[in-house]
Structure formats: structure tokens, C-alpha cells
Amino acid sequence: MTWIVTGDLDVFLATAGGLLGAGPAEHIVLLTVSATSRERGPGSYGAARPRFGWWRDGGGRVAAALLDTPPHAVQSGALPDEAVAPLADRVRPAPHRLSGVTARTAPPPDRADCPPAPPRRSRWRS
């Protein structure tokens, strides 16, 4: 269970694209920023190069994704609880000053048939 972060949009989409496509409403920001970065190039959101990442669960399945487009806050889709602390550890050594992290925890998989609870939002600012 680890976060992998890359500056390579194609690698990110090849790895996490299935997760993003399976929940387009949940991942609309990640999908939109990825499409814009592909269309307009890596400098679309500022001088610093964007970073893209994914988290694999204990079974090796991609279970979360993130993007970091400085100077904006790091964005993610829903995160399993066990991905939150490793995310903080992974994004802190950024090559630029982070403006923040916006994330939401995911409902447990065994509750997928239940109506979703209101999102719990976490926000960290440096």
C-alpha cells in the first residue's frame, strides 16, 4: 500500500485511468485537469510541472488518485482511510511549496449498497 507520484501524464492515465473512468463524477477534477494538461501541455496551470499519483491497496488494485498542479492545492478523489497518512507523507517532500491538500475519505467497500453519507472533507494547509 503505497502512493506512486509521477510527472508523466501518460503513465498516470495508463495506471489510474480505469479508476477515474469508473467514477467520472467523483473524479471530475482529475479527469478535467488531465485532459487540459494533455491538450495544452504541462504548463497549463503554472510554471511548476504538475505531478500525478495513485495509491494501491493491499491487493495491488489502484484505489485512489491525486494530482498536484502548483500553485493549486493537491486534489484527490475519495480516499480509503488507510491512504490518508501515506498521502501526507508522500506530498510533503514536494519540489515546490504546497498550498494545501483537498481530499475526501471513501465509504467502506462493504457499505457500497447504502446511500452515501455526506462527504467528510479534510483540508491541510501549509
Cα–Cα distance for residue pair 70/118, rounded to 1 Å: 28
Cα–Cα distance for residue pair 98/49, rounded to 1 Å: 13
Q: How many domains does the chain have?
A: 1
pLDDT for the residue 56: 92
- List, for residues 21-57, the tens digit of each pLDDT value: 998 888 888 898 899 888 888 777 777 788 899 999 9
Cα–Cα distance for residue pair 37/44, rounded to 1 Å: 6
Poorest-pLDDT segment among 53-62, 67-76, 113-122: 113-122
**92 is in which domain, residue-wise?**
3-124
95 has a pLDDT exceeding 80: no
